[in-house]
């Protein structure tokens, strides 16, 4: 799909007038720091990092430095207009080389790390981008804003595995209310029957709303749920009540604009003199400091340098001039919130990881922990495209710069219309039947009976990231996501340079359960789209491979040719019980074997969450902030 948007000069000027906000305590270079010592240093100004920073600085006596490798999110329409989210990451579109006539992934987005996975054996050895936010707000500034909290069983399983009842669903629900602020949809329509208002918070930081632009397929999706008992309707898709079923998407959108950790948690804290945000700055490594405990290694200093201006990272430097290196120190804790790729990378660069791997790169081992960077899990994504008879899809909009600019200009004035929407209005989370082939063959990998195995999404246009939209035709996309995968991969640095991207290997579709599960899912999609509700709408599958995907062999061929990740990585600095021989952090999120070092981001989840992770990361960070405040008696 081509999501490149060419704005006219007049439209660009108009956008700039409406989308300018600045953070008063943000600085752009380490040389501008007023001091080199803070109570807490948070590495990563993303979903979790800014949440923790905001909560800690509510205490006026606590000083916090947040370090972000990327730029500010101020004044950029693509970061604020929900429908433009696919333009922010390199997985979204191809460019064609005029010299070779070959198509390549576009990798010139300044808000992304521009990572790629290593060749995926389970996906025909394909290589594709692995988007991660590199901007204030992190992934909450570039993602598609889907907002759930997982299933209750997800949290209870984690609580049991790590031996800490504080992570149980019973305890974690309080942080949902603290975090979210339910607001009306952009079009202010009556939401009766689409959400259960009573179970949501209304005074939290991040705005959550239902879709604000009705789509042609919405009524057909709901009609199909009434016709097919296999696909029941669910009135609230947040996960606060049971997650299973199909219903209306809840998104981190307020007033027709993206609600990110930057526009909420950071904005709430921007005038606090005890908060400093340093952007455009890369963490090189953590430095060992004096420890107060003989059996622990302390890491309370952080080595930093200005970020590269070349965001493609094509030729990363292997060394940095001494004059460009700065060291900042924390009197209490360094908190890694660099995400499931950045956090293990920084740990390994700092000598915390597998000693064999570190030695081979000339990095002295400080803490030998082979679990660092292991246990990488991601949700497998497959978009199933159907040709449809309607001329009311959004495909014409995606093909026309004039139409896009018209709608963007309108959105600037009233914050309504298609640009105020993310990519879907309806989605569902489902389980395989107990008597299904996959459940007869394998033990249940889900956290429990309330946790789904897979997700289904409905988009009223061509949506297949990495595959170009056809020049003609109208389409409905039915993406599916395996949210209970058993395939596991790794993050592993390649050199001592912090600018050298690590090897990212999700190891997709290498576990037999995942292969069998995708067979069940593809057949389930075909059953759903065969419901009578679609008889006057769907023409048929667009891809020939989907048409013939009816046997194990043909389904496997289809999945291996078209599936990618949905970029929900977890587990690379996994939480585990205090006496466990694996894992990277304790249940209080302190790094095992270390002092003054915590991890607060999605890398600590020991299992993949059975939903989009953004909401869960927010409540993880809310609880982490409370735990830090209580443990430090702040």
Burial class (CB in 10 A: 0-12, 13-18, 19+), 315: exposed
Beta strands in 419-474 (DSSP E): 426-430, 454-458
Beta strands in 469-611 (DSSP E): 475-482, 490-492, 503-505, 538-541, 564-565, 594-595, 597-599
Query: Do residues 600 and 52 lie in contact, with contact meaning Cβ atoms separated by under 8 Å?
Result: yes
- Give the other-Cβ count within 10 Å of 279's Cβ: 21
Whether 32 has a binding-site annotation, put simply, is no
> Among candidates 481, 477, 480, which has minimal Cα distance to 543?
477
Query: Do residues 483 and 454 lie in contact, with contact meaning Cβ atoms separated by under 8 Å?
Result: yes
- Quick one: CA dihedral 479, 482, 487, 492, positive or negative? positive
Whether 283 has a binding-site annotation, put simply, is yes
Q: Which residues contact 507 (CB under 8 A, 6 or more apart)?
A: 120, 121, 122, 376, 487, 488, 489, 490
- Give the other-Cβ count within 10 Å of 132's Cβ: 24
Q: Given the residues 111, 147, 379, 568, select the one marked as catalytic.
A: 568
Rounded to the nearest 5 percent, the helix, strand and coil shares of the chain are 30, 20, 50
Active site residue 501: no
Whether 613 has a binding-site annotation, put simply, is yes
Tokens of 439: 């459940």
CA 391, distance to chain mean position in Å, is: 32
SS3 of 94, please? strand
- Give the other-Cβ count within 10 Å of 402's Cβ: 10
**490-523 CB burial, b ≥16 within 10 A, e <16:** bbbbeebbbbbbbbbbbbbbbbebbbbbbbbbbe
Tokens of 379: 């949700």
Active site residue 379: no
**579-610 CB burial, b ≥16 within 10 A, e <16:** ebeebbbbbbbbbbebbbbbbbbbbbbbbbbb
Query: Do residues 139 and 46 lie in contact, with contact meaning Cβ atoms separated by under 8 Å?
Result: yes
CA distance 530 to 360: 55
Whether 614 has a binding-site annotation, put simply, is yes
* Residue whose entry in the numeric block shows the structure tokens 């707000």: 137
CA distance 448 to 444: 8
Q: In degrees to the nearest 10, what's the CA dihedral of 21, 24, 27, 32?
A: 150
> Among candidates 152, 196, 149, 195, which has minimal Cα distance to 170?
152
Binding-site sequence positions for FAD: 135, 283, 613-614
Active site residues: 568, 612
Binding-site sequence positions: 135, 283, 613-614
């Amino acid at each position: 799909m081509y999501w490149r948007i060419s704005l006219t000069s007049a439209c660009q000027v108009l956008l700039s007038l409406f989308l300018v906000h600045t953070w008063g305590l943000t600085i752009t270079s380490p040389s501008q720091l007023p001091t080199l010592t803070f109570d807490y240093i948070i590495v990563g100004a993303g979903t979790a990092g800014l949440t923790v920073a905001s909560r800690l600085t509510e205490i006026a006596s606590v000083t916090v430095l947040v370090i972000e490798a990327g730029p500010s999110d101020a004044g950029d329409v693509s970061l604020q207009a929900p429908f433009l989210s696919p333009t922010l990451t390199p997985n979204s579109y191809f460019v064609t080389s005029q010299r070779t006539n070959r198509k390549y992934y576009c990798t010139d987005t300044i808000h992304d790390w521009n990572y790629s996975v290593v060749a995926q054996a389970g996906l025909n050895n394909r290589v594709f981008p692995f988007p991660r936010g590199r901007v204030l707000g992190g992934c909450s500034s570039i993602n598609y804003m889907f907002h759930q909290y997982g299933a209750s069983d997800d949290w209870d399983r984690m609580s049991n595995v790590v031996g800490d009842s504080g992570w149980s669903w019973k305890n974690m629900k309080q942080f949902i209310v603290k975090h979210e602020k339910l607001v009306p949809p952009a079009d202010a329509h009556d939401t009766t029957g689409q959400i259960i208002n009573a179970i949501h918070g209304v005074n939290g930081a991040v705005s959550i709303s239902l879709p604000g632009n009705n789509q042609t397929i919405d009524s057909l999706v709901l009609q199909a749920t009434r016709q097919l008992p296999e696909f029941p309707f669910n009135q609230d898709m947040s996960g606060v009540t049971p997650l299973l079923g199909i219903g209306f998407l809840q998104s981190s959108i307020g007033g027709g604009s993206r609600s990110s950790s930057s526009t909420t948690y950071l904005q709430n804290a921007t005038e606090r003199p005890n908060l400093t945000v340093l952007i455009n700055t890369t963490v090189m490594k953590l430095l060992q400091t004096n420890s107060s405990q003989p059996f622990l290694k302390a890491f309370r200093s952080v080595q930093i340098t200005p970020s590269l201006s070349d965001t493609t990272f094509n030729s990363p430097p292997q060394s940095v001039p001494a004059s460009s290196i700065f060291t900042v120190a924390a009197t209490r804790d360094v908190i890694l919130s660099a995400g499931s790729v950045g956090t293990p990378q920084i740990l390994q660069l700092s000598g915390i990881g597998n000693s064999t791997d570190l030695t081979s790169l000339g990095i002295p081992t400080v803490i030998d922990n082979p679990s660092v960077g292991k246990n990488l899990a991601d949700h497998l994504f497959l978009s199933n495209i159907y040709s449809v008879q309607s001329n009311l899809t959004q495909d014409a909009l995606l093909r026309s710069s004039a139409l896009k600019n018209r709608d963007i200009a309108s959105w600037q004035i009233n914050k309504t219309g298609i640009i105020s929407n993310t990519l879907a209005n309806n989605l569902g989370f489902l389980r395989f039947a107990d008597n299904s082939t996959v459940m007869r063959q394998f033990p249940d990998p889900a956290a429990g009976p309330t946790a789904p195995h897979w997700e289904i999404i409905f988009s009223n246009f061509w949506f297949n990231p990495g595959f170009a939209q056809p020049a003609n035709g109208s389409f409905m996309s039915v993406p599916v996501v395996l949210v209970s995968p058993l395939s596991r991969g790794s993050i592993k640095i390649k050199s001592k340079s912090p600018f050298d991207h690590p090897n990212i290997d999700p190891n997709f579709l290498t576990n037999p359960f995942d292969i069998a599960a995708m067979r069940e899912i593809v057949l389930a999609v075909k059953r759903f789209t065969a419901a009578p509700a679609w008889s006057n709408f769907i023409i048929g599958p667009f891809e020939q491979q989907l048409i013939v995907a009816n046997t194990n062999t043909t389904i496997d061929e289809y999945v291996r040719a078209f599936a990618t990740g949905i970029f929900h990585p977890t587990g690379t600095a996994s939480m585990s019980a205090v006496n466990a021989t694996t894992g990277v952090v304790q249940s209080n999120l302190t790094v095992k074997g270390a002092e003054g070092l915590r991890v607060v981001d999605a890398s600590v989840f020991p299992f993949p969450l059975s939903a989009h992770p953004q909401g869960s990361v927010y409540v993880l960070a809310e609880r982490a902030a409370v735990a830090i405040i209580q443990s430090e008696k702040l």
